[in-house]
Structure formats: C-alpha cells, structure tokens
Chain A
Amino acid sequence: MPEVKYRPNIGAPRTPANEEPAAERARDFRPVDTGYTKADAIAEANRCLDCKKPLCMEGCPVGVHIPQFIEKIREEDWAGALETIKNDNLLPSVCGRVCPQENQCEGKCVLGRKGEPVAIGQLERMLGDMADEVGKAPECKPKNGKKVAIVGSGPSGIACAGELAREGFDVTVFEAFFTGGGVLTYGIPEFRLPKAIVKREIDGLEQLGVKFEYNSVAGRLFTAEELFEDEGFDALYLAVGAGLPRFLHVPGENLPGVYCANEYLTRTNLMRAYEFPEYDTPVRHGKNVVVFGGGNVAMDAARTALRLGAEKVTLAYRRTEAEMPARRAEIHHAKEEGVEILELSNPLRFLPGPDGFVSTIELQRMELGEPDASGRRRPVAIPNSEFAIPCDVAVTAIGTRANPFAKLCADVELDRWGLIQTDEDGRTSNPKVWAGGDIVTGAATVILAMGAGKTAAASIKKTLLGEE
C-alpha cells in the first residue's frame, strides 16, 4: 500500500496566540500569552509544508529540527516532539518565548514569503511547557571522574551544565546571586517568562546531579587557579554574562528617579519590589515614566512601569520603530498595552523638581542620515528642535559593557572591549578555561548564549576525555 502523503492545510491562517486582554494584563504581572492548546498546535502543525530543504532550520542558530518536531506534533507524539527539540535546544520553554523568531526560524520559513510563517516559537514553548507531563528524565552516562566548574547560571551556564552532567561529569555552578537563571530571572519579567519555568530548568539540573553554589562571586570568593589546584576541578566555563550598564552621560542622569533598566528590572523581578512593603526592596512608582532605548530591555522596562501603575509610559528612541532591535511581538504587546512610542528623540538633560527627583526631560528631535557601520541609518540631531516632557521616573536601556569579573577570575585574553576572546569551540587563551554567552559576544540572545554553552560542553568533553 502506498504511504498516505501528508497534505498541508494550505491557505489556513496562522493560529492566533492566546493573549490576555491588553487593558487587564497591563495592570499585573500575569503571563501575557497563555500559549497554544493541543488543538491549536495541531492546527498550526498542519500548516507546515514539511519542506525538503527547510529554510526555517537555517534561520535557527542551533539548528532545531523544525519540520521533524512539527511532524511529531501532527502525529500527536508529544513526547517525541519534545525530544526532537531537546536534542538541539535544551530550553524550549524559554526560547519559544524569547527568541527573536521573526529574524530567525520564522523569518526564514517559506510560508512567510506570501503569508504568515508557521508559529514555530509558539509550538516550541508549548512542547517545552509539557515537559512535566511527557518529558522523560534524561539519562546520564556513568560518572567519568572529571570535575567542571561553571561560573554563571544564565542560559549559557545552564546549557553547558546540562550537557556535561548528562555526559557523566561532576558539575558545579557558581552563581553570584542567591538564585539561578541570570537574565532569565532578574531581567526578563514574569509576564513574559514566568519564573516557575526557569526554576523547573534549574531543578532539572539538580536532579541530574549538578551542584549550585549561590552567593559565590568568582574572582572575589575564589579564583580559577584555586578551583584547579585546591579543589580538583579539571576545567572551567565562564558564562558571567554582560556587565556594567552604559549611561547616556547627559546632565541630571544621576538624579533620584533616573534608573538604568538593570536596576529597575532587578528591583522589580528579583527583589519583588512590586510587593513592597511585604518585600523590603523599594522601587519608585512613577505616574509619568519615560524609557530610553529600543531593544527588549527597553520594552520590558516600559511594560513593567505600566504594571507598577504608571499613568503614562513613553518609550523614546533615537531612530524609528522600524529600526528597533526588540522582538516584534514585544513592540506589538507594548503598544497594545498603552506604551507610547516617541520616535527620533534623544535626551539632552534630566531636570529635577522641587523635591530633588527628576521631573522633566529635555529632548531633541533627530532625523535619519547615512547608514552607519551596523547598516542602520544614523540618527542626526535637528538643530533648534529641543522640547521637554514631564517625567517622574526615567529608565535608560542603552546597553552594557563587559563584565569586569571575568578577568579577576581567570587569566584569559580579552578583546579591546573587555570581552573574552575564544575560538569557535569556546576555548580561551587559558587551556583549562572556556567561555561563552554575553561575556564573549556582548549582549546578544538567549539562544546564542545557550548554543555557546553546548558547544563549549562538547569541546570540554573532547579535551578532558580525549575522544571525538
């Protein structure tokens, strides 16, 4: 009997996301998108053309076998689908939610040429979220007697730890904070990435035997040399993430009420300032909040401000919305929730009110000039275009510099920006030290950080066990 050929449901519209009403969700920290149901997933899977040469896969930085896992969804083999993803991506619940799919997998999907691409991210997060139901406990190889230390418990450290633990290594993760997850925990807010998901991933690693040492600042509490010589570690993976935030360097930037996004988000997410005074850490609740930047961090800060009760949240950006590096979904959600976007505006100074807190921002209009090195058109100030807007909380989200601890921890070569230099396997100039994630690439993405952790794990394994 000839095999029944799969027939995609050509022409069906993309299955819509299940989102909470914008006006309601913007008042609390509940998840914005509740995710696909099984029926949604199957309907969406039926749209995929099952391409012979799947372009979507080329768009994924870690090469998730997309048509294969989608096929398993169609077969309702949920466990098989999850396993297919997990072979390439250890954190589907996270990546499905936070990957910039429009530039990656979905951006390349052939269906996107004429209509809407397959909702690969939605499918992926849904499978990831089913892990408790259908996931199999991963098998670990017998202990091989080698000890690896990982510094940093962000996505890069987590990925490296998971890979190595399964290969039978004795893995310890050292984390500066009192809890794990890195940016996934202190940066990306609950409404976009529930902390229970991050916790589940960390718990999963603990079940694999990975040890976590919190409150442990590498470079201050210990150095790489001590780990190797006194504690018998055989290799070290540095995944300390990005570091010091950048500032605008305009007058008044240090006024009370002017935050850098890292502080604003850490106070709110990690220290739960939105529950002050039940939780001790305060954060200033503004009526008129202005956020500077156009990336994911800026979107998260703006939407957090809404949830802290702001009446008006303005996102000021030097270029136009089209140039914003944030995920499209976040820009869309932010606007839907009421964040106003002020394009082509650059801050000149912050001015205090009578109470000493920031009360006004002076800005300047910009226009787009010639493309710069990044290929984006450079914003150029328009003379005599100054204007002022009221503001009682301002948040800057304009990027980060290199984390200074990498150098304190291990003697590794840095580039001129202070980022660690590695080869494509994640090796540093120190033969026992590997590195990856934001500390190597500069602020990037979760999936790239995770991919780097996996690559380094393979290289560490090869080096320590001497096998291919």
Chain B
Amino acid sequence: MAERGFMYKILKKTQFSEKVFEFRVDAPRMAKHAHAGQFLMVRINETGERVPFTFANWNPDEGWIEFIFMVVGKTTECLSKLEEGDYIQDITGPLGCPTEIEGDRVAVVGGGVGLAIAYPVARMLCEQGKQVSVIMGARNKDLLILFEQFAALPLENLFITTDDGSMGEKGVVTLPLARLCETDSIDQAFVVGPVPMMKFSTLTCRQHKIPIMASLNPIMVDGTGMCGCCRVEVGGETKFACVDGPDFDANLVDWDDLAHRQASYKAEEAASIKHYEEDCACQK
C-alpha cells in the first residue's frame, strides 16, 4: 500500500521530443487496477491544479504506472521540470471507465495531445489481436508526438497528416480516414484530439456508416463525479466524462458545447503561465 497520500516517486523520466515526456511512477495499487482508457489526476504540489492524464502503461508486478504528457501550459511545464527521484504530491486513479472497442478492424485517430491518449488504446487493441490502423494528425512535424512509439506497434496501417505537409500527407486526418472507410478496411473507429478533428472524423464515419467512439477531454476538477465541471451533452443527456466516460458514442456528442466549455479558462491559463514564467518556486 504505497498510496498513502504521501508522495509519488518518479522512477523514470523519458523525453520523447521537445515537449513530450513520459513518467514512470511508483504506485503499486494503481498498477494493479489500471485499464486502457482510464486516467489519473495529478496535483503536483500544494498549490497545484488537479489535471488528468491517461495511463500509458502499467506493471502490476513491478508496481509502477506510466503516463505521457505534452507541455501545453503551467502544470505540464512544471511537471516537465521534475526529474527521476523527485516526487509528485498527489496522484489519484484509476478514474473513468476502461475503453471497450468492438469490431476487429479498428481505426485509431489521434491529434495533438490526444495522441498520448490514443497510444495506449492502440497498443491494447493490438494486444487483443485486432487489425489496427492508426491515423496521426498534427499542425506540423514538430507537434507530431509519439511517432516512434506508434511505429513500433504491429499496425495494419500508419497514416500521418500535417496541416503544412512537413510530415506525411498534407491535410487533415479525415482524408486517410475516408479512404479507410471507402475501401471497407475498418468496421470501427476511435478518435481523440481537438474538437474540430473529432467532429469531422465523426462526420466522415457517419457518411460511411462506420461506428465511432470519441474519448472526450473536458476540463476536470475532482474526477469522481462530484463537481459537474466535466459535463458533456451526449444524445441530449448531461453526462459526466469522468465517471460516465471519457469514451462516448461520437455520433451523439454535442461538439460545440464541448468546445465552449474547454475554452472556459483561456484567459486564466495565459495568466497562470505568465505568472509562472515570471516567478515560480518550482522553476528552480
């Protein structure tokens, strides 16, 4: 029983690219209960915010869990400064429902930070013996994360799209997704990333009558269904991404609603990183 609300020790830190890191953390009980698609919440220190990250990997025998994060703001910036042997004050998890995907031929579509969430799902599907096609999307080559990790999986197909064509195909993820649908190469899709990407992937799949699940990433506070911050409209009902999700039938999701809610704190997020850059204890 290590999770005594004491600190969580970073056993290993891996840097994948300029802004992408993986932490391996000592958490034996969590390691026994994590499933693909579930997430944890980190509070880095006493003054920290609680932010969610998806389990990237876990080992019940060795008692550790891993998560991958991309630096996008204050908390992830602070996290990236921690080193092996340092401690994270609080980690809570596993939270959310495990990902369950039907179908034998699955397209996993991920964009931006969403690739960190897509990776463990793709890996799990491969382990389940499914035929997995991955579509990775990013604005440009530098923002395309985890390419080598995906490439190492036994995938059926691996497509890359960038907005500027600096890597892979120039364009958006729906181009290869439509081709997969048209050629009858998949019977299920899974998408995670920015809202427009998820929305248009859903439309593409709908056209071809391919079922699609989306992993939603609204802002969260408690992650246990108590606060209502992560509410999303799915099929005309109010659902809580942290306990009912994070995966939902993408055809039922109200995307505009999610986009509005995700943007609730843009001004504060900018203020927070500015404050941090000017003076912050954890920068030392």
**A residues adjacent to B (C-beta < 8 A):** 175-179, 211-217, 220-222, 231, 243-245, 247, 249, 254-257, 259-260, 262-263, 266-267, 271-272, 276-282, 284, 356, 403-405
Contact = CB atoms under 8 A, between A and B. Distances in A.
30 contacts: A176-B224, A177-B222, A178-B5, A213-B3, A217-B95, A220-B94, A221-B30, A243-B226, A247-B231, A247-B238, A254-B233, A254-B238, A257-B264, A260-B227, A260-B228, A262-B228, A266-B221, A266-B227, A267-B221, A271-B50, A271-B221, A276-B272, A277-B272, A277-B275, A279-B49, A280-B75, A280-B272, A281-B50, A356-B260, A405-B225
A386 B171 CA distance: 49
Contact of A256 (B5, B260, B269): B260
A272 B269 CA distance: 16
B92 A217 contact: yes
A271 B49 CA distance: 7
Interface size class of B (residues with CB under 8 A): 35 or more
A266 B257 CA distance: 23
A216 B275 contact: no
B243 interface: yes
A249 to B, nearest CB: 7
B260 A178 contact: no
Contacts of A245: 226-228
Given A263-B229, A276-B272, A221 B94 contact: yes
Contact of B272 (A214, A255, A263, A282): A282
Nearest to B229: A263
Contact of B268 (A178, A179, A243, A276): A276
B119 interface: no
B1 to A, nearest CB: 7
Contact of B228 (A216, A220, A247, A256): A247
B98 to A, nearest CB: 10
Nearest to A357: B264
A276 B268 CA distance: 9
Interface string B50-85: 100000000000000000000000110000000000
Contacts of B92: 176-178, 215-217
A260 B231 CA distance: 10
Nearest to A214: B5
Given A221-B30, A280-B49, 10 more contacts: A175-B5, A178-B43, A179-B5, A211-B4, A217-B224, A220-B93, A221-B29, A254-B257, A256-B263, A277-B271
A314 B194 CA distance: 37
Contacts of A247: 228, 231, 238
Contacts of B269: 282
A106 to B, nearest CB: 31
A6 to B, nearest CB: 49
Contact of A222 (B33, B49, B263): B33
B90 interface: yes
Nearest to B78: A280
B50 to A, nearest CB: 7
Contacts of B47: 272, 278-280
Interface string B256-284: 01001101110011011001100000000
Contacts of B231: 247, 254
Interface string B145-175: 0000000000000000000000000000000
B48 interface: yes
Contacts of B261: 254, 256
Given A244-B226, A244-B240, A278-B47, A263 B264 contact: no
Contacts of B89: 178
Report the 4 A-B pairs with minimum CB-CB distance, sorted nearest first.
Answer: A214-B5, A282-B268, A280-B49, A260-B228
